[in-house]
Structure formats: structure tokens, C-alpha cells
A and B are shown apart, each in its own frame.
Chain A
Amino acid sequence: MSADRDVTRIVRSWLHEDGNENAERVLFAVVEQLDTTPQRPAGWLARRFPLMHSSTARIGVAAIAASVVALLGYALIFSVRCRRWPDAVRITSSQRCGGDPRVPRWRL
């Protein structure tokens, strides 16, 4: 344990020894390039409503979105099944889908 502390102390003091780094040249180069480097505008995430910072609101919106997707998916599958059913099963299928679409509902 004390050996670990020794290594940590030695490494820290070695890292903090004076280096000969001088960032002046780097800074000069950066400032020179600022004019030719456009800033990226804030993305859509940055323009969110403050309401979205609440986790409850986030979960609510996610739940609503999931429900809408599920409903749309169910409606799509249901309508495809009603349209593509073979003749042999059309009767049962059309019964399940609420009758023959060519016959007005009030006549049934």
C-alpha cells in the first residue's frame, strides 16, 4: 500500500516538473485560422424545449411516440391482410375485416 503511494507520489511529482512547453506559437496559429474556420451552428438537440429537460416529460413523449408507432403498424398490417387474402378465405377474412368493402355497410 505504501509502495503504491510512493509510486503515485513519484509519478505526480515527475509529471508536475517544469516542462519547456510554450503555447505561444500554437495560439498564434489558432488565432490566424479563426477567420477561415466557421463555427458549427447548434444542432436540433440544443433547441429543445425546456420541458424536455424533465425525465417524466421525456418518458411521456417516448411512450406516446411508441403508442402511435404501434397503432400505425397494427393498422397497416390489418389493412394489408384484408386486401391480400386469397379468394378461398375472403369470406372469413372479409367477415373479420367488417364485411365486403364493395357492399355498403347499411345493406348488410
Chain B
Amino acid sequence: MDTELVKAAQIGDKGAFTALAAALADRYLAASHRILRDLSLAEDATQQALLAIWRDLPQLRDPARFEAWSYRLLVRACYAEAGRARRWAPNIHLLPVDEPLATDGLSTVVDRDQLERGFRRLSLDHRTVVVLHHYLDLPLDQVAEALGVPVGTVSSRLHYAMRGLRAALEADSRPTAREAAQ
């Protein structure tokens, strides 16, 4: 990230901030889309995050830490959008049709739908950690900084998230009770 652009934006240079935002926006939208699983919510979160960055930029002490600091604002915006969506969403719970029976490895072909379902079953905290670490390639300490939690908490969330995903993939690839009975 160009530190000079950050410094210029800190003192109110709108052109510099526009250049910064243009460099960040695609990546932020992609990350928030993956966290929130909804493009319009992700667009709102990205917009709110970029405006928050502009508003709070003079308070950033070390311009070299801009990227980590901005991820924190993006995560906050995602949480805010998720909370807003939860308040308006109808209260529908999807129930599993059949219980899985046999145990099996990950030998079957995994398709997008299985991953999508598994990922949606994760909590927002767990999805955020997975996206920051496995999509944005942030090391665990930077993920912890972005979330404002200890590194141990991040490791634990990541562990449980991956375990949840693995369980979801395995469950989806197993034959259902009905299939097994036939």
C-alpha cells in the first residue's frame, strides 16, 4: 500500500483517497461478499467501510499500518450489515431431510453447493476468520488485530470453522438414511 497516498488522504486529499479506495474496493467487496454471502449486503458493507476509513483516517497514527487498520473497519461494517439483515430477515430455519449414516472420507467430488451450504452454516465469526485467513491470506496475528481478539481466539475459531466445514462436506458426501436403506 502506498504510504504517501495514505498520508495525503489523512490530511484531506480527496484525490489521494479516491486512488486508495479504487485500489481497495474490489478486494474489500470480494471479502465482504464471501463473509456475508450476499452481494447487496456486501456492497453496503464495503461502502460503509470506505466511508469510515475516510472519516477516521486522520486518527491513524502509523500510515504503514493502514491495511491492517482498514480491515478492522471492513470487518466492523460487515458485522453491522449482518446485524441489520438479521433484524429484517424472516425467521426461517432449514431442517435436514435425512440424517447421514455411514462415515466416509473426502473422496467424493466436492462441488460448490456443498461448500456454500457448509459455509452458510458457520457463524459470522467463523466465516470472517476463514475469509481473512484463507482468502485475504492474512497471518493469524493480523486477523486477530482486525477482529480485536487474541490470537488464541482466532486459532480456535479457525479450527472450529474448518472442522465445521469438513463435517459439512463429509455429511453431504455420505449417503442419506433413505439412500442407504434402498
Contact = CB atoms under 8 A, between A and B. Distances in A.
Given A31-B18, A34-B14, A46-B59, A11 B54 contact: no
B165 A29 contact: no
Interface residues of B, dominant DSSP: helix
A11 B59 contact: no
A84 B102 CA distance: 82
A6 interface: yes
B135 A29 contact: no
Nearest to B26: A23
A85 B105 CA distance: 82
A10 B12 contact: no
A8 B25 contact: no
B106 A15 contact: no
Given A14-B115, A34-B17, A40 B130 contact: no
Contacts of B34: 15, 19
B31 to A, nearest CB: 9
Interface string A25-51: 111011101110111111101100000
Contact of A10 (B21, B47, B115, B131): B115
B58 A39 contact: yes
Contact of A29 (B14, B17, B47, B61): B47
Contact of A26 (B43, B58, B134): B43
8 contacts: A14-B115, A21-B26, A21-B33, A26-B46, A27-B21, A27-B50, A30-B25, A39-B58
